[in-house]
Each structure stands twice: as structure tokens, then as C-alpha cells.
Chains A and B, each alone.
Chain A
């Protein structure tokens, strides 16, 4: 099984509401918990991991309350965002200790298997304090996998990783999901979620903003107009070329250059260099001015 249900959950700290009336069900497969920084993702994951009591509502694993119930950790593996593990231990000692804490029948075998899963065998006898960020992330992953849990909760697992480490971890997460596990990971980076999650849950300002298939939500996000700031060798000529092409809803000449409101993000970004070349204009700067996640999310919320 391994189904987490969040039922009308709120969590507040004093007067600050971090999570507000959220309900969702997380089942097998990879689910991305997406939201800008400060949206309440960590608070939600902490509640799902039994580290925070909901101020209202209930969080359950297969019908069992998670809060105040250490027995659920037989089925949950948690990878916290914070980097620190027991830095004075070697990777192997750390995972072995975790296996023993779970009272596994063969802790040594389980530790070896988990270290193998995250491909950390080559550094298992080095102290964790000497690991790179990506290595620490993987050894933390091994610690969460050592008891072969049905549910894996990962809080911002890609933070601070280089592209190669990111790819490796993505592959690992996919293979874990293929084995029928329920995996939830939080991220504030759209692209990470897009590449990995089949299902996404979006939270904005503590509220559940969207839920479902990624493509569906992506379409909602790309339907809107995108604003670009441009600087070029001749802004006036470029402006007339863009207007002539018809791919923009509006073009404004400002002190800093051009502000273009494009109707189709993908088409406009493909078209612009061609337009500029044809008009004999050199592009100096192209930046999407409202592409910050917050604006995308607030757009979603408005929807």
C-alpha cells in the first residue's frame, strides 16, 4: 500500500498560518510537491513525516495517524533537507547504525544493499564530514532506504546538487518508484518536477493551488501571456519586426529597452532570434520578466 492522506490539514505558528486547509492523497509513483520558497512545502512534508502535529485536520498513512506513532517509521523513509548527518561516522557506519535502529534481522546486509542502491560503495569507508553535498544527499537517501520502506519523503532533494548528481538521483528515484513505492519530493524548481513527477501537487502561500497530471497544469501555466524584457542594437527596428510578425500581444518601448508581451512562450523564444537576424538587429539581452515561480503560481491561484 503506502498511501498518505492529508485531510483538511492546517498548521499555524502563533499568528502565522503556514498551511491552510490542505487535502491531498499521495499514492504509489512519484509525486512532486511544488511551490515557491516559503509556500509551506516543508511544513507539509514534516507533518507527513510525523515531525509536526497538524494544528487542525489529520495526516494518515494507510489509515493510521502519523503524528505520535513511531511505528509508522517501519513504512516511511524520510530524507530531511538539512545537510547534517553524523559527520564523525563513515558512510557505512552511519547506514549500519540506521539499520540497527530499525532492528533489521540482517543489518549489515541491509546497509550494504542500501549503500549499493545509491552507488556510494566507493566512499562508504570515508567520514561523512568529508563528503560533497551530493554525496551527503545520497547517503541520507541510503539511510531512508535501508529498511525498504513503502513510502519515501524527500524534502528538496536536489538542493545544492550539480547536474550530474541531479541526473543520478532522478534515475534512482524513478527506479524506486518503478518498484511500486510511494515517493513524494518537494521542489521549488519547475523543471525538476517536470522531469521526474508523474503527478504534482502545487502549494502557494500555504494553500493547495492545483493537483493532478503535470502536463495539464503546465498547460494552464503556458496559456498565459509572458512578458519579456529585451535589449538590442536597435530597439525601434526590433519592435516593428515583432509587431509585424504578430506573435506578440503588445510591445512597449521603455528607457531600458523593449517590453514584449508574447502570447505563446515557446513559439516566441524560437522566433525571436530569427526575427532579429532578418531585421539586422543584434540581441543583447532577453529575459522573461515575470517568469519567477511566484508569478506563475499566483497566476495558477487566480485561475
Chain B
């Protein structure tokens, strides 16, 4: 972990125009939850529907995609990463720092809004908001690693990430039962299910399997990112 790289990363993330999206998406969830609570449409079914349907399916992967690719992708594209890589710093430390920043930002802009929305809808006494918040952090830990690795491995990381989140997780996952075992979102939902007694959250797969797969995916993604960064060649026209 390198404090200087973390500071550069956070300034780069929050100082760019795309940072607006980091604020807009959670704001939509919070406003939606506030309106539902205010109008009395805050039954357990509706509330878990919003937290899962918008929080876990839309907000979490999108924020993770923006953040996971954003902590390193633009620096590689613009060549600024050169200033970090021409220092006697192990590549593993660069990736780890970027990753910690990514997970921190995903927690702040996805998990925390999900928790606040849950509390708005169901009150602080319910275990549902906390279960969703923990699930979101778990999802963020895996998404962050995968999208970070994608950004180091490919210049089309955002497109590939979008296809994964929208096509694989949202669509194919809904049709093919087995594919849900290979979805970061469903691993996160397994934990949510485990942590709440609410009958409206029901996931088939076992939480132990989900956690093992999530951990493995995270480690493999980070390993790949370190390896690729160690041999990163910056394209040149000459």
C-alpha cells in the first residue's frame, strides 16, 4: 500500500467528469427509496425488490465498473502510469493500492447508499439493510478486482465489463440456472440471504461455495493484474 499512489488515484477519480456518475447513481437510489417510504410503499417485498433490483443489479456493478476501471485505466491510456512505474516500487504494491482505493470507493458510493436506502425503507431495526450492505461490500471486493484486472489487461475494459454485467449477470443469469453460480452478483446475494431472515430474499446456491468462488476470483484477478502490470508495454507509434 502506497499513500502517494492512493492520493493520486483518488484525486484522479474524483476530479474527473465521470465522478459525476458516482454521485448521480446513488442519488437515484436514495431519492427512489425516500419517495417510496414517504408514500407508504415500503413493504418488505417492495423494499427488498428495490435493494436487489436497483441496488445490487444496477448500482453496484455500474459503480464498480466505473471505479474498478477508473482507478487505473485512464492512467494507462494517457501514459501517466509511466510516472508511477518508473519508480522503485513493486508492481504488486501499485495494484494493491489501486485495489484498496477501488474497494473503498465502491463501499462509499454503492454499499453505503444501499444501507441508507434500506434504513429509509425498513427502518434501522431491520436486518435487511445490513445484510444488503454486507453483500454489496462483498460484491464490491470481487467486482473491484475483476474490473481492475480488466482495465490492466484490455483497453476495452469498460465495454467488456458492461457486457458481463448487463448480458451475463442480468440476462443469461435469469434464463440459465447453472450460470448463476458464475456470477459475482449471485455470490453477493447468497451472503445477503444468509444474513437476513426476510423471506423475500431467496437464493438457491450455498453461501460457502459462493464465498470460495468469490475469494478465488478476487485472488486470480489481482494476480493477473500484477503480472500484466509487470510486463506492461506502452504502445508507441515509433
> Closest CB-CB distance, B58 to chain A, in whole Å?
29
Asked if B41 lies at the interface with its beta carbon under 8 angstroms from chain A, I say: no
Interface residues of B in 1-49 (CB under 8 A from A): 2-5, 7-8, 11-12, 15
Q: In which size bucket is the chain B interface?
A: 20 to 34
Asked if A34 lies at the interface with its beta carbon under 8 angstroms from chain B, I say: no
Interface residues of B in 86-111 (CB under 8 A from A): 86-91
Q: Are the CB atoms of A101 and B12 closer together than 8 Å? A: no
A17 to B87, CA, bound (A): 29
A263 to B7, CA, bound (A): 62
Q: Which residues of A contact B88 (CB under 8 A)?
A: 70-74, 102-103
Binds B, one of A2-10, A37-45, A241-249, A282-290: A37-45
Interface residues of B in 135-176 (CB under 8 A from A): none
Q: Which of B80, B82, B83, B236 contacts A42 (CB 8 A)?
A: B236
Asked if A27 lies at the interface with its beta carbon under 8 angstroms from chain B, I say: no
A73 to B15, CA, bound (A): 29
Closest A residue to B78 by CB, please name it.
Answer: A84
Q: Are the CB atoms of B4 and A84 closer together than 8 Å? A: no
> Closest CB-CB distance, A70 to chain B, in whole Å?
5
Q: Are the CB atoms of B12 and A102 closer together than 8 Å? A: no
Q: Which residues of B contact A18 (CB under 8 A)?
A: 238
Our count of residue pairs bridging A and B at CB distance below 8 angstroms stands at: 84
> Closest CB-CB distance, B89 to chain A, in whole Å?
6
Asked if B84 lies at the interface with its beta carbon under 8 angstroms from chain A, I say: yes
Asked if A88 lies at the interface with its beta carbon under 8 angstroms from chain B, I say: yes
Asked if A51 lies at the interface with its beta carbon under 8 angstroms from chain B, I say: yes
> Closest CB-CB distance, A56 to chain B, in whole Å?
15
Q: Which residues of B contact A73 (CB under 8 A)?
A: 86-88
Given A46-B236, A52-B233: A101 in contact with B87 (beta carbons within 8 A): yes
A103 to B236, CA, bound (A): 29
A37 to B238, CA, bound (A): 7
Asked if B79 lies at the interface with its beta carbon under 8 angstroms from chain A, I say: yes
> Closest CB-CB distance, A97 to chain B, in whole Å?
5
Asked if B234 lies at the interface with its beta carbon under 8 angstroms from chain A, I say: yes
Q: Are the CB atoms of B87 and A86 closer together than 8 Å? A: no
Interface residues of A in 131-154 (CB under 8 A from B): 143
> Closest CB-CB distance, B81 to chain A, in whole Å?
10
Q: Are the CB atoms of A53 and B87 closer together than 8 Å? A: no
Given A70-B89, A101-B89: A85 in contact with B238 (beta carbons within 8 A): no
> Closest CB-CB distance, B210 to chain A, in whole Å?
37
Known: A86-B8, A88-B15. 14 other contacts (CB 8 A): A42-B236, A42-B237, A42-B238, A51-B233, A70-B87, A72-B88, A74-B88, A76-B86, A78-B82, A80-B79, A86-B12, A97-B8, A98-B87, A101-B4
Interface residues of B (CB under 8 A from A): 2-5, 7-8, 11-12, 15, 78-80, 82-91, 230-234, 236-238
Interface residues of A (CB under 8 A from B): 18, 37-43, 46, 49-53, 68, 70-74, 76-78, 80-82, 84-86, 88-89, 97-98, 100-103, 143
